[in-house]
Amino acid sequence: MANCPECGTALEIGDDVMAHEIIECNACSVELEVVATNPAQVELAPEEEEDWGE
Amino acid sequence: MEPIKLGLLHSRIRLEEKMLVQAIKQRDDVELVMLNTSHLVLDLASLPQVDVVLDREISQSRALHVLNALEQDGVKTVNSYAAARVGGDKVLTSKRLHNAGIPTPKVKIAFTRESALKAVEEMGYPVVLKPVDGSWGRLIAKIESRTAAEAILEHKSQLSSYYHEIFYLQEYVEKPDRDIRAFVIKDETICAAYRTSDHWLTNASLGSKTFNCPITPELNDLCVRATQAVGGEAIAVDLMETQDGFTVHEVNCAMEFKTSLQAVDIDIPKLLIDHCVKAAKQMRMGDQK
């Protein structure tokens, strides 16, 4: 079980979540990066950079 | 034959990347190699051993460096460094489209506030100001008066990056409250979706809604030609509908497709992976000759 580093809410992270997947905290809507699975660890996702795009 | 080693170049796993991973796992002739640029250290003398790389990197700067290095070692890249270089730069893209005779909005480029203002006045209002290397509808301005032009150009010139002082000015095109995103793989437009919005910008990242757009021979031809013009092979082409027909306003190399998938009945991730594997196998066959 991991907690949101922003608001502390316990996060429900499914088994199918991949490392480095971006998820959103249901409570505060902050974007989080799953930095490890089994056990799950999350960090605040990086801020959007100027050269990001498709 | 040894499994094809397919590198997925990325730094974020979004829904699209998960779907691509799923498509790879459906195949027994492919070995997935995750290339995450947040952790990757490129040893230029010993690069990752892969047959093909699919570029899903959201940082265009990172993608260009990795694609370029891998290509020099004979790795097949989708899209190529050259295509990503053009697709990531609106000036290069517009010039390629123009020279290929593809309908595209008129564009002027200026390098100072003063010359940009002069160009805006010549083009007339409204006019659209875009960052050269931006995406997702960021920092795009519809300028409707000289007063607004003066203010926006001053603000732009105060931003930290030099690139904000390259003023890309695009003709404002009257269109319905929708545009079209079409997906091209190699020489075929595989599907397309209308993107509708109450806002004049219809980027999916800004929350537009999608529904299916039928592929006509005209649309297919135009999108394939636009893809070829930028040297791409897996490209999302954005078009607007005008009274005179379609006009292509953007091409996207690391195509985002999740919102379009809600509207089309085509398995885009599978077709993308199929294309990468086919291209890698052809490259191997070529090496063996």
Residues of chain B that touch chain A, judged by Cβ-Cβ distance less than 8 Å: 10-14, 18, 21, 36, 38, 58-61, 88, 133-136, 161, 163, 236, 252-256
Q: Tell me the shortest Cα–Cα distance from A18 to chain B, in angstroms.
A: 8
Does B152 lie in the same domain as B82? Answer: no
Does B233 lie in the same domain as B221? Answer: yes
| B21/A18 CB distance under 8 A | yes
Q: Structure tokens of B93?
A: 């893209």
Is A54 part of a structural domain of the chain? no
Q: Quick check: B77 and B67 in contact, CB under 8 A?
A: yes
Does B179 lie in the same domain as B158? Answer: no
Is A10 part of a structural domain of the chain? yes
Reported as a single tens digit per residue, the pLDDT across A16-50 is 899 999 999 999 999 999 999 989 999 999 888 87
Asked if A49 has any chain B CB less than 8 Å from its own CB, the reply is yes
CATH number of the domain encompassing residue B201: 3.30.470.20
Does B261 lie in the same domain as B194? Answer: yes
Is B93 part of a structural domain of the chain? no
Q: Quick check: B75 and B9 in contact, CB under 8 A?
A: no
Residue type, A45: A
Q: What pLDDT score was predicted for residue B288?
A: 64
- The two beta strands, A31-36 and A22-24, are antiparallel
Does B260 lie in the same domain as B278? Answer: no
Residue numbers in A near B134 (CB within 8 A) = 50, 53
Does B238 lie in the same domain as B181? Answer: yes
Is B94 part of a structural domain of the chain? no
What is the distance between the alpha carbons of residues B31 and B60, in angstroms, rounded to a whole number?
Answer: 25
Q: Structure tokens of B169?
A: 């000015």
Please name the residue of chain B whose CA is at the shortest distance from the CA of residue A21.
B13
The domain tally of chain A equals: 1
CA B150 and chain centroid, separation: 30
Q: Structure tokens of B166?
A: 């390259």
With a threshold of 0.90, tell me whether the complex ipTM lies above it: no
CA B158 and chain centroid, separation: 27
Reported as a single tens digit per residue, the pLDDT across B63-114 is 999 999 999 999 999 999 999 999 999 999 999 999 999 999 999 999 999 9
Name which of B252, B240, B164, B135 is nearest B195 in CA terms. Answer: B240
The answer, yes or no, to whether residue B32 has pLDDT greater than 90, is yes
Q: What pLDDT score was predicted for residue B286?
A: 84
Is A52 part of a structural domain of the chain? no
Is A53 part of a structural domain of the chain? no
Place of tokens 């960052």: B131
Rg (CA), chain B: 20
Please name the residue of chain B whose CA is at the shortest distance from the CA of residue A46.
B12
CATH number of the domain encompassing residue B113: 3.30.1490.20
Enclosing domain of residue B197: 175-266
CATH number of the domain encompassing residue A12: 2.20.28.160
Going by the DSSP 8-state scheme, the letter that residue A21 receives in this structure is: B
What is the distance between the alpha carbons of residues B63 and B146, in angstroms, rounded to a whole number?
Answer: 38
Residue numbers in A near B38 (CB within 8 A) = 20, 46
Reported as a single tens digit per residue, the pLDDT across B232-288 is 999 999 999 999 999 999 999 999 999 999 999 999 999 999 999 999 999 988 876
Q: For B33, what's the count of Cα atoms within 13 Å in the CB-facing half-sphere?
A: 17
Q: Quick check: B227 and B184 in contact, CB under 8 A?
A: yes
Q: What pLDDT score was predicted for residue B289?
A: 58
Preceding peptide of B79 cis, ω within 30°? yes
Reported as a single tens digit per residue, the pLDDT across B125-157 is 999 999 998 777 788 999 999 999 999 999 988
What is the distance between the alpha carbons of residues B60 and B75, in angstroms, rounded to a whole number?
Answer: 19
Is A49 part of a structural domain of the chain? no
What is the distance between the alpha carbons of residues B197 and B259, in angstroms, rounded to a whole number?
Answer: 13
Enclosing domain of residue A21: 2-44
Q: Tell me the shortest Cα–Cα distance from A51 to chain B, in angstroms.
A: 5
Is B91 part of a structural domain of the chain? no
Residue numbers in A near B66 (CB within 8 A) = none
Does B128 lie in the same domain as B77? Answer: no
Residue numbers in A near B135 (CB within 8 A) = 52-54
